[in-house]
Amino acid sequence: MSSARGHVDAHSTRWIAAILGIIIALLVLPPVWYLFQGSLFEITPTGAVGEFTFEHYRRLLEGERLATSAVNSFVFAIGSAVVALLFGGVLAWIVERTNAPFKVLAYLTTIISLGTPYVLYVTAWLFLLGKVGPVNDLYRWLTGANDVLINVHSMTGMVLVEGMLWSPLVFLLLSATLRTSNPEFEEAARMSGASVWDTIRRITIRLALPAVMALVLLVFIRAFEGFEVPALVGLPGRVNVLTTDIFLALKDTVPPDAGRASAFSVVLLCVVAVLLAFYNRISKSAERFHTVTGKGFRARPFDLGAGRWIAGVIIIANFLFVLVLPNLVLLWASVLPFFQAVRWKAVGLFTLENYKAVINSPFYLELVWNTLILAAASATIVMVLTLVVGWLAVRRKPGGWLLDQMATMPLIFPGIVLGTAVMQIYLAVPIPIYGTIWIILIAYVIRYLPYGMRYGYSGMLQIHRELEEAAGMSGAGNLVILRRIVLPLLAPAVASGWLFIFLLASRVLSLPILLAGPDSQTIAVAMYDMWTNGQGTELAAMGLLWTLIMTVIASGFYFLSRRSGAGVYGN
Amino acid sequence: MLAVEGLTKLYANATDAIAGGIRDAEFRLEPGTFFTLLGPSGCGKTTTLRCIAGLEKPDSGIVRLGDRILFDGAAGMSVPMNRRDIGMVFQSYAIWPHMTVFENVAFPLQVSKDVRYGAADIAARVQKALETVNLGGYGNRPATRLSGGEQQRVALARAIVREPQLLLLDEPLSNLDAHLREEMRVELKRLQRQTGITTVYVTHDQAEALSMSDRIAVIEKGRIVQMDTPEGIYYRPKTRFVAGFVGVTNMARGTAEAAASAGAAVAVRIETGEQIFCQAVGSIGASASVAVSIRPESVRLEKDDGAAPDTPAGETVLRGRVDQASFQGQSRRYDVQIAGWRLMVLADPQVRLSPGDEVRVRLSLRDTIALADGNE
Ligand SMILES: Nc1ncnc2c1ncn2[C@@H]1O[C@H](COP(=O)(O)OP(=O)(O)O)[C@@H](O)[C@H]1O
Ligand SMILES: [Mg+2]
């Protein structure tokens, strides 16, 4: 291109790409580097790098700790994926494809659970399934026995809680798949004389299989790298998995054993990277089966006949188990000075002290501020970056592919691993941000870049190329096209991506638990501390109030994302 | 005006290794020409258009507009699309949904770098452009509240509002229903004549091409196979492909009885035995195998009264029997059986024949064409 004008315009895109490339590389690459360095070198407590060593890995392999944790991680992840798929998958089909009643309850359940911090969810289930919780209580009352029906602090308890935690997401993603897949395949089967059951078995399931497999793998990965349930449910019962081992090496060891944590992290990182590669392959083939016609059709639902009432009962059961019971038990706990079995005589102890304590505390107010500011700031930064990267990538501008790859890379970091890595960087690099809100913000931006990419990229894909080309032919340069055509058209996708990241960032525990200092706590960390300090009832009060705020925001997200139709990675 | 030389753009296709695109396109248009690229879907029309527009970077070739060189592969120069001063209407229309009709049409003026337009000037020009496409008064309409035909007009107004040197249209009528398409065909032609903008039009519809164009280039598998006036393309197709693609034709295989140079008369013995006098397209060797193309409306039928027919020099007269007859409005269609050969004829509705009638079939030399078979 020797034309002077040609240079000017191609240059403007190259500059954008180069600047973005530097920012993203600075965010994404150091964590990987420091993690590997930390696992392969002696690092002194002052952060100086010592000798090269395999000692950290050797110590990992000593004893049966690694093997036990790894096996536990796998069992936990597989179990959770199966439970989540059973609950969420059946529900999605009933809601999207049949004439069952009470469908609105399923959506309600999903929206509210999107706004609930995991810590709170998990504690609700711990209340429910705990020794004096209503489930075991009922069991004892019915059988007259003295023991418990289930011990929640066990692998079974972990799997159940994690599975229930993910079922709304499975529902959300699978119902989106069912909604956009072409109903004519099923209708053609029905017209060929197939029964409802035959159609489900031979057409619906076959067509949805790749999407379902992708989803199973997704939940598997998320559970595998999950931290909340293993920490709250597993640790007290001494059921360790890889993520809690990393946590223990850093928080329960004095001085923190960063080498061991790094080695653990590298192991976890590798496993997750392999799993994600699998996931990408499966979900690619899932997309091929996915025939979006772009028409606003709505599938005619199957008539289940009398069976629709059974389906209705399933919807109500989901509503009860995922939404009503956990929140009821939280409500029960929140008006008691300490948690008690559900008995009539406990009613006399009812008090609003917990709520008063929460509302009047300046400390909690600061937590709310910290959390909201962090969530809003990280969502904004991520969406600005990924909007431009998405444009460069989809339109195959120079550097676009590389930027896309870099921005998607943090997906391989489990939260706890990223926390470990970021901690090491800022211990080593002399920037005084450790223990401040800034280090958490940086970690959030890294963590949520891939999620933003998902929205930026798929939003871009929906914009017909000719809309931009028409602007180019009208005489507009790249920057003008970006500002006047792309940005306004992407607004719905950007808004729903922003809200999604906001919701994730406002409830995540695994990052701030390692990075937060005394003045930079977030709601999720405070909840975790309250639970481990035995302030469960105060936690319930605060959690319910927080859930209320978040549910409002989550409904906004839900309606926006239904309109913009972007998929999500989960979490 | 617009000159394209040796324009080549090939897409290497990883999966089936069939290279799509355009090879060696070459044409030169006088100012004000309505030029059409005609060919079946996938032959490379859009590719050619996008190369001219600057939306695609050609592998090689030269594109010149007026005295400006827009692209020169050998010199490695290329003017970016937003600096080419070309108006374009896209197949999807690409009306920006977040703007009003006015904003859509005003956009090219607002982003103009070479000339700065004042607000009043912009308003006046947009108004004029909208009136040209019969959309005066639509300015405040949101772009999402437009019918297909109105969207198409907005796209046109947006393309001409800057009074560009060249207008590119990519199958602009294919998204419209049949009735509207007919109407817009006339409308487009009127508009082009009124504005005098040199226009490159892409379509796969031969009727559109024939009725609107000054010149037509027929493209087959990425190559321009014939470039001529609509009449030339229709009556003097150079290859079997062109004859078959443009209009309906009767095609028969045969052998030349003697050698003939281009344009000369030649007697051809077709496979079913009849001898037909044809005009040779390109030179034909003796006993070369040829294809004969006869337009159904150029055949004349008359009732066979058994008398010996008068046969003017060069004209072919054959005997046959009407097999099927159907009324089609502007014409009557007869399927005539001539020995083993079946000939389709479109005749004036005044000529009334019934199935079973014995007929004489007259083929004039001018409209009966022999194509060397190698030209397929
Ligand atoms: N970006 C591309 N990559 C690969 N092949 C392409 C691309 N664009 C077009 N083609 C192929 O080039 C051929 C010509 O395409 P096109 O010019 O769009 O045809 P049409 O004449 O229908 O407008 C087609 O076979 C098409 O598949
Ligand atoms: Mg095309």
Closest residue in chain B to residue A479, using alpha carbons only: B111
Q: Average of pLDDT values for B234-238?
A: 88
Residue A121 has pLDDT above 70, yes or no: yes
Separation in Å, CA A512 to CA A46, A228, A243, A482, B4? 22, 12, 15, 35, 63
Identify whether A526 is part of a domain.
Answer: yes
A262 and A276 housed in the same domain: yes
- For residue A566, the model assigns a pLDDT of 41
- Which chain B residues are within 8 Å of A464, Cβ to Cβ? 92, 94
The pLDDT of residue A6:
38
Residue A194 or residue B213, greater confidence: B213
Distance CA A364, CA B31 (A): 76
Q: Which amino acid is at B30?
A: E
Structural domain total, chain A: 2
SS3 content of chain B, % helix, strand, coil (to 5): 25, 35, 40
For residue B120, report the phi and psi dihedrals to the nearest 5 degrees: -65, -40
Rounded-to-integer distance, Cα A536 and Cα A337, Å:
9
Q: For chain B, what is the radius of gyration of the CA atoms?
A: 25
Q: What is the pLDDT of residue A217?
A: 84
Are residues A567 and A495 part of one domain?
yes
Q: Is the CB of B246 inside 8 Å of chain A's CB atoms?
A: no
User: Long-range contacts for A555-558 (Cβ within 8 Å, ≥24 apart)?
Assistant: A555/A111, A556/A499, A557/A114, A557/A496, A557/A499, A557/A500, A557/A502, A557/A503, A558/A107, A558/A110, A558/A111, A558/A114
Most B-contacting residue of A1, A395, A474 (CB-CB within 10 A), to test interface = A474
Q: Would an 8 Å CB–CB cutoff place B88 in contact with chain A?
A: yes
- pLDDT at residue A78 in the model: 95
Answer yes or no: is pLDDT of A567 > 60: no
Tell me, yes or no, whether A128 and A18 share the same domain. no
Query: For the residues B228-257, what does the mean pLDDT come to?
Result: 90
**Does residue A414 lie in a domain region?**
yes
Same-domain check for residues A90 and A167? yes
Q: Give B47's contacts (C-beta < 8 A, 6+ positions apart).
A: B9, B11, B20, B21, B22, B56, B222
Query: How many CB atoms are located within 10 Å of the residue B244 CB?
Result: 15
Q: Is residue A361 included in any domain, yes or no?
A: yes
Q: How distant, in Å, are the alpha carbons of A211, A492, A568, B202 from that of A181?
A: 11, 22, 17, 34
- My answer on whether A347 and A358 are in the same domain is no
| CATH at A541 | 1.10.3720.10
- With H, G, I as helix, E, B as strand and everything else as coil, classify residue A447: helix
Of the candidate ranges A29-33, A62-66, A535-539, B299-303, the one whose mean pLDDT is the lowest: A62-66
Can you name the residues that pair with B4 across neighbouring β-strands? Answer: B27, B63
Any idea of the CA torsion for B240, B246, B250, B251, to the nearest 10 degrees? 10
Is A327 contained in some domain? Answer: yes
On whether any CB of chain B is under 8 Å from the CB of A288, the answer is no
CA distance A214 to A211: 5
| φ and ψ of A78, to 5 deg | -65, -50
A36 and A85 fall within a common domain: no
User: Do A387 and A488 belong together in one domain?
Assistant: yes
The pLDDT of residue A181 is above 70: no
Select the highest-mean-pLDDT range: A552-556, A564-568, B23-27.
Answer: B23-27
| A48 is a domain residue | no
pLDDT digits (tens, 9 = 90+) for A203-237: 777 777 777 887 888 888 889 888 889 999 998 88
> In angstroms, rounded to a whole number, what is the distance separating the alpha carbons of residues A569 and A222?
10
B314 pLDDT higher than 90: no
What integer pLDDT is reported at residue B123 of this predicted model?
A: 96
DSSP codes joined into one string, B332-366: EEEEEEETTEEEEEEE-TT----TT-EEEEEE-ST
User: Is residue A49 assigned to a domain?
Assistant: no
Res B276 pLDDT > 50: yes
* A210, A286 contact by CB (below 8 A): yes
Q: How many CB atoms lie within 10 A of CB A37?
A: 18
pLDDT of residue A1: 34
Summarize pLDDT for A483-533 with one digit per residue, the tens.
Answer: 899 888 888 778 878 888 898 898 888 889 888 888 888 999 998 888 888
Give whole-number Cα distances, B35 to B198, B215, B217, in Å: 8, 5, 8
**Interval A401-448: pLDDT, tens:** 899 889 988 888 888 889 888 888 877 777 777 778 899 999 999 999
Residue A50 domain-assigned (yes or no): no
pLDDT at position A299, please? Answer: 53
Do residues A183 and A62 both lie within one domain? yes
Q: Do the beta carbons of residue A244 and residue A133 sit within 8 Å? A: no
Predicted local distance difference test score (pLDDT) of residue B214? 96
In chain A, count of helices (H) and strands (E)?
Answer: 26, 2
Task: Read off the pLDDT band of A308 (50, 70, 90).
Answer: confident
For chain B, give the mean pLDDT.
Answer: 89
- Chain A positions touching B78 (Cβ under 8 A) are 1, 3, 6
**By the CB < 8 Å criterion, does A486 face chain B?**
no
Collect all residues of chain A within an 8 Å Cβ-Cβ radius of residue B107. 471, 474, 476, 484
CB B289 within 8 A of CB B253: yes
**Could you list the residue range(s) of the whole structural domain that residue A179 is in?**
56-289+305-351
The pair of three-digit structure tokens given for residue B189, joined into one six-digit string: 């032609």
Write down the pTM of the prediction: 0.75
Q: Tell me, yes or no, whether A176 and A27 share the same domain.
A: no
Nearest-CA distance A489 → chain B (Å) = 7
Q: Do A464 and B94 touch (CB under 8 A)?
A: yes
Instruction: Find which of A159-173, A246-260, A368-382, A536-550 is predicted with most confidence, using mean pLDDT.
Output: A368-382
Cα-to-centroid distance, B11 and ligand 2 (Å): 14
Pocket of ligand 1 (CB under 6 A): B 11, 13, 20-21, 39, 41-47
Per the model's pLDDT, the better-predicted residue between B236 and A562 turns out to be B236
User: Is residue B133 within 8 Å of B153, Cβ to Cβ?
Assistant: yes
User: Could you give the strand order of the β-sheet that contains B60-65, starting from the edge strand earlier in sequence?
Assistant: B20-29, B2-11, B60-65, B68-72, B77-78
Q: Are residues A20 and A168 in the same domain?
A: no
pLDDT score for B63: 96
Q: Please indicate, yes or no, whether residues A334 and A374 belong to a single structural domain of this protein.
A: no
Element (H, E) at B223: strand B223-228
A15 belongs to a structural domain: yes
Tokens 């580097």 locate to A33
Q: Is B92 on the interface with A (CB under 8 A)?
A: yes
Per-residue model confidence as pLDDT tens digits over A97-108: 888 888 888 888
Identify the band that residue A189 occupies on the pLDDT scale cut at 50, 70 and 90.
Answer: low
Minimum-distance CB partner of A485 among B85, B96, B158: B96
Q: Which long-range contacts (CB under 8 A, 24 or more apart) does A44-52 make?
A: A45/A255, A47/A427, A47/A428, A49/A428
CB contact under 8 A, B92 and A5: no
**A229 and A265 within one domain:** yes
Confidence band, pLDDT 50/70/90 cuts, at residue B227: very high
Which ipTM did the prediction report?
0.73
